[in-house]
A and B are shown apart, each in its own frame.
Chain A
Amino acid sequence: MSATNLTLNDHVVQQRRTSIHRLNADILLHVFKICRDVEPVDIWNVSRVCSRWRSLSLEHSFLWARVTVNRRSIDLLGYYGFGNWLDEWILRTGTTRALDIVIDTEHIDKYNWWDWPSDDDLGDMVLAFARQAHRWRSFSYTLDLPWDTDFGPARRSENHYTRQKFVESVRSLPLLRSMRLMQTGAGPSCAYSPQTVYSLLHHATDLHLSSLSLINIFVNEDIPSGKVDRFSYHVTPDWSFARDTLLSALQAYSSMRCLHLSGSFYHDEDYDDDDDESSAIVLGSLEELHVEPSKETADALSSVDMPCLAKLTVAGRGHTMIHDSDAIQFLRDFSFHPHSPLLMTLVLHLSALRVPWSDIACFSALKTLRIAVPILHFSWLTIPETLSTLWTKKRRDDGKLTWCLPQLQALILDVNVDGGFNHAIMTQWTQLDTELKRHFQDRWAAAHREDENIAVLGIDIISSNRKIEVRETGHRNDHTTAIE
């Protein structure tokens, strides 16, 4: 008895001494929310720590509203009985809360092919989510299956039944604003593939998507496009779509404001270029274009009119570096576009050190230029051929001396320094600032003369933990910031 008391007392003392117990419920909930946002299935872990955490997490349905089926949730909750925990998870979201759904079969290859995923599994899962379709706020479905996946003989009658159930459920999607569908490998051969889900959307009567991302999906023009603001269309290297497929997709979502485009689009010999011109696509609201450069993409975009385009980003997926020759060729092709001189912001991710100034100079109205480039040393920034195009006047074909990119107000260099910062680089950091100021003195002075129509240029150099702002001397204090 006394031993029990001692244990309980110890427990109480321990609880009082632990600062986590002094945190109020609001702060704990905020921590839980961030845990949930980093990895949705972690809310299950949170609910199994202690009675207080369990009560708090189960009382707040918003913590459960990101329902995710992926490798990590299967690792934690198990493959067997997966339908049970999925039902329990959905139950914990309540009945009215908007849901963010993620299905992602990538990286599940550790499971035996006879275990997961079967056609029935996918059908049950898709149907379980479809029953809550009226609560979907976002829906992301990635089906990546190995090529040797064998679904076995399809049970057509059951598939048909499930399909009907699905169609009935997705007729009303009043809350859905964001959708991402991706299929690769053997994914499309599944009866409940992302392509199937996309195709069935034409039954929806109140679709109000603002963001749509399609990867290896054929666009069906029957599907209500609504006012999709952000559209992303990607084809992975192991797939290839015809150019007219891309153009159909752009036509279907022509009211978009922002477009991300990448992939392989081959030119269909049967496609008549004359028809192409007569049915030129106009993206009248497009302001931002993010593109992974290739000749095929440049060709396809040559028949697309973008009168309001203000920002162009040329980079790989996820802002990765690209082959410079592709980027340069793309810029060169794009500069012939009728509205390219109106472009105001250009973002360029390069893999090598040579900046294609002659191609960039074609975009004469640029106000902001951002270049991401890996460098070995900061001294590269003061080598004449790097930035001299901007700090020296050049003679044009008509013999007149002019500044390159006269409207440029912000040059941002994202530099990735090999080996990080060391003492030698620290020493050169200050010298770099002084050197650049010396070089740009003439341009800054010209910006204050009435006969020269150029803007004052500010330069930001950003590395992983340093930022230097080079500004016109005497007009604004320049400074550097750092993590010490």
Chain B
Amino acid sequence: MSITLISKEGAQFLVSKPVADRIGVVRDCAYGADFWLGYAVATDDSMGITLANVTSSILSKILVWCEHYKDMEPLVDGDSNMEFPEWDMAYIGHDMNQILFVLEAADYLHIPGLLLLACKGIADVLDGRNPRGICDLLGIVMDFSHRQEVDMDKENGYWRWFLHPT
């Protein structure tokens, strides 16, 4: 049995059942398990499943992961001290934009193992960066309230407190 997945741009990807089984949303659609979530239920093997929020390039990358894990279980445990296999780390890479797109898609498609790997990828890229560096990397604006700024001034000024406690 094979299933056709249709990306946001309309590109079609024919995947085998073990590969499709890695994608929670597709699994639910193909076997009609989740009517209440509002997904279309495929009754015909040839029927395509549209994944409207996933672009072709991200879908093809995700299918590489699904293909790799079609016969084995990925890490899904909540303990983040675990070591990911080298293949996983090479797969996720260090391109923050790419990792974020994979993360969003993994969340949308219900792929817990890939979601966890993408979280690990982001954490690794953030490792060793200061807050300003993180903001620059992710395009975040430091939008603290006055109260938060006062609190952080205290944190940063502990050494001054030590010298002049009054």
Which residues of A approach B to under 8 Å, CB–CB? Answer: 11, 14-15, 17-24, 27, 30-31, 33-35, 37-39, 42, 44-46, 48-51, 53-54, 77-85, 88, 464-465, 481, 483
Which residues of B approach A to under 8 Å, CB–CB? Answer: 80-81, 86-87, 90-91, 97, 100-101, 103-104, 107, 115-116, 119-120, 122-124, 126-131, 134-135, 138-145, 148, 152, 155, 157-163
Q: Is A49 a contact partner of B135 (Cβ separation < 8 A)?
A: yes
Q: Is A38 a contact partner of B142 (Cβ separation < 8 A)?
A: no
Q: Is B161 a contact partner of A19 (Cβ separation < 8 A)?
A: no
With a CB–CB cut-off of 8 A, which chain A residues contact B107? 23-24, 27
- Separation in Å of the A137 CB from the closest CB of chain B? 14
- From B143, B155, B158, A50 is in contact (CB under 8 Å) with B143
A82 to B81: give the CA distance in the assembly, Å. Answer: 27
Give the residue among A44, A45, A481 with the most B Cβ atoms within 10 A. A45
Q: Is B134 a contact partner of A78 (Cβ separation < 8 A)?
A: no
- Separation in Å of the B76 CB from the closest CB of chain A? 12
With a CB–CB cut-off of 8 A, which chain B residues contact A42? 126-127
A77 to B145: give the CA distance in the assembly, Å. Answer: 22
A85 to B129: give the CA distance in the assembly, Å. Answer: 20
With a CB–CB cut-off of 8 A, which chain A residues contact B143? 11, 50-51
With a CB–CB cut-off of 8 A, which chain B residues contact A50? 135, 140-144
Interface pairs (12), CB distance under 8 Å: A20-B138, A20-B139, A21-B140, A23-B103, A31-B126, A34-B119, A35-B127, A38-B80, A45-B130, A77-B155, A78-B158, A81-B162
- Separation in Å of the A52 CB from the closest CB of chain B? 8
Q: Is B127 a contact partner of A18 (Cβ separation < 8 A)?
A: no
With a CB–CB cut-off of 8 A, which chain A residues contact B163? 80
A15 to B163: give the CA distance in the assembly, Å. Answer: 40
Q: Is B123 a contact partner of A18 (Cβ separation < 8 A)?
A: no
With a CB–CB cut-off of 8 A, which chain A residues contact B122? 31, 34
Closest to B89 in A: A483
Closest to A32 in B: B123
With a CB–CB cut-off of 8 A, which chain A residues contact B162? 80-84
Q: Is B159 a contact partner of A80 (Cβ separation < 8 A)?
A: yes
Q: Total A-B residue pairs with C-beta atoms closer than 8 Å?
A: 116
With a CB–CB cut-off of 8 A, which chain B residues contact A38? 80, 123-124, 127
Closest to A37 in B: B80
A81 to B155: give the CA distance in the assembly, Å. Answer: 10
Q: Is A34 a contact partner of B100 (Cβ separation < 8 A)?
A: no
- Separation in Å of the B132 CB from the closest CB of chain A? 9
A78 to B157: give the CA distance in the assembly, Å. Answer: 9
Known contacts A50-B142, A81-B157; can you find 15 more A-B pairs with CB under 8 A? A11-B143, A17-B139, A20-B138, A22-B104, A31-B122, A33-B80, A34-B122, A45-B129, A45-B131, A48-B155, A50-B135, A50-B141, A77-B158, A80-B163, A85-B155
A17 to B97: give the CA distance in the assembly, Å. Answer: 12
- From A19, A45, A84, B158 is in contact (CB under 8 Å) with A84
Q: Is A19 a contact partner of B104 (Cβ separation < 8 A)?
A: yes
With a CB–CB cut-off of 8 A, which chain A residues contact B160? 81
With a CB–CB cut-off of 8 A, which chain B residues contact A81? 157-162
Instruction: Decide: A51 near B148, CB < 8 A? Known: A31-B123, A45-B129, A85-B155.
Output: yes
A262 to B59: give the CA distance in the assembly, Å. Answer: 50
- Separation in Å of the B9 CB from the closest CB of chain A? 18
A38 to B127: give the CA distance in the assembly, Å. Answer: 8
A150 to B28: give the CA distance in the assembly, Å. Answer: 68
With a CB–CB cut-off of 8 A, which chain B residues contact A464? 86
Instruction: Decide: A18 near B139, CB < 8 A? Known: A78-B159, A81-B159, A465-B90.
Output: yes
A465 to B100: give the CA distance in the assembly, Å. Answer: 25
Instruction: Decide: A20 near B100, CB < 8 A? Known: A80-B158, A465-B86.
Output: yes
A177 to B138: give the CA distance in the assembly, Å. Answer: 39
With a CB–CB cut-off of 8 A, which chain B residues contact A21? 140
Q: 10 closest Cβ contacts across the A-B interface?
A: A81-B158, A80-B159, A81-B162, A34-B123, A48-B131, A34-B80, A18-B139, A80-B162, A19-B100, A37-B80
- From B126, B140, B144, B158, A85 is in contact (CB under 8 Å) with B158
Q: Is A37 a contact partner of B81 (Cβ separation < 8 A)?
A: yes
Instruction: Decide: A15 near B141, CB < 8 A? Known: A50-B135, A80-B163, A85-B155.
Output: yes
With a CB–CB cut-off of 8 A, which chain A residues contact B141? 11, 14-15, 50
A18 to B100: give the CA distance in the assembly, Å. Answer: 10
With a CB–CB cut-off of 8 A, which chain A residues contact B139? 14, 17-18, 20
- From B100, B104, B126, B145, A51 is in contact (CB under 8 Å) with B145
A44 to B154: give the CA distance in the assembly, Å. Answer: 13
A37 to B81: give the CA distance in the assembly, Å. Answer: 6
Q: Is B159 a contact partner of A19 (Cβ separation < 8 A)?
A: no
A31 to B107: give the CA distance in the assembly, Å. Answer: 13
Closest to B68 in A: A481
Closest to A45 in B: B131
With a CB–CB cut-off of 8 A, which chain B residues contact A37? 80-81
Closest to B123 in A: A34
